[in-house]
Amino acid sequence: MSSLWRLLTGLIEELQKGAPALPASWISGFYGSGKSSFAKLLGLALDGLVLPGGEPLATALLRRDDSPKAAELTVQWQALSAQVDPIAVVFDIGAAARDDEQIHSAVKRQLQRRLGYCGDIHYVADHELKLELEGEWEAFLQTAQRVLGEPWDAVKTSPVADEEFSRVLHEMNPALYTDPLSWYESRAGANTGVGSSAEETTRAIAQMLEHRAPGKTLFVVVDEVSQYIFKTRIECWPCSRLCRRWGSG
């Protein structure tokens, strides 16, 4: 647990400064050293995961710490919890990525799912955000209930959610979307992340948090990054740029 204590201490020190210039940590270690478990458990604890018995994961982790710094770790965790209201996205990039996509695109999709956007069809989720930005989200939800006969939350997980989404947009704006499937046909088959730079992704993440998690501090844990980069041969500079954009606000 000493590694967790050092990490939490560093986080608190940077938060007290206002914000870190480069808010990222690369956790490395020998195979089987527990680095993945360490990072994932930290992320899930920050996200407020509750175990089946009703106990918060953070409480269970702290209780199992029998190291000499156990009491200090509890103090550091409480200090961090007092400074931020966290929300976290935790995933394996090898399992989540589509078609060797850039890491920042996968981060965006995972956050879309975490915040309740359409998690399986990225171009629907992108347009959901546009409706929020344009102040039309509530009108969309009401129209969806009337046109589809059930709440959008029940439809967005359907394999044909994009077609149903198109039907609602047609009803809202028949002059722009002249056919019930006009919107769908203009976007169906769009590739994940195409045209989304690190800067655009950063802006979209900030907008999503503002609308669906105001006041929250986002933590992102991405596992298997080294393996993914080695396997796909993708360039890692977009991920680095994403971190820099986060740091610069």
* Residue ranges covered by each domain of the chain: 2-110+195-248, 119-187
pLDDT for res 247: 61
- The one-letter amino acid code at 101 reads E
**Residues 129, 121: Cα–Cα separation, whole Å:** 13
pLDDT for res 249: 54
Are the C-beta atoms of 106 and 97 separated by less than 8 Å?
yes
User: DSSP of 140-198, one letter per residue?
Assistant: HHHHHHHHHSS-HHHHTTSTTHHHHHHHHHHHH-TTTS-STTHHHHHHTTPPTTTT--H
CA angle 181, 164, 112 (to 5 degrees): 115
pLDDT for res 225: 82
Tokens of 202: 């950063």
pLDDT for res 20: 54
Q: How many residues does the chain have?
A: 249
Kindly tell me the sign of the dihedral angle through the C-alpha atoms of 140, 142, 143, 149: positive
Per-residue pLDDT of the chain (249 residues; tens, 9 = 90+): 566 667 777 777 777 776 555 567 777 767 766 778 888 998 999 999 999 999 999 999 889 888 888 888 888 888 888 888 999 999 999 888 887 788 888 999 999 999 999 988 999 999 999 999 999 999 999 999 999 999 999 999 999 999 999 999 999 999 999 999 999 998 866 654 554 788 888 899 999 999 999 999 999 999 888 788 888 877 776 777 777 776 655
- The one-letter amino acid code at 160 reads V
Tell me the β-bridge partners of 91.
222
pLDDT for res 248: 57
pLDDT for res 123: 92
Structure-token match 């959008």, residue found: 152
pLDDT for res 237: 67
Q: Phi and psi of 48, rounded to 5°?
A: 80, 25
**Residues 25, 154: Cα–Cα separation, whole Å:** 37
pLDDT for res 87: 96
Tokens of 223: 């596992």
The pTM is what?
0.86
Are the C-beta atoms of 103 and 222 separated by less than 8 Å?
yes
SS3 86: strand
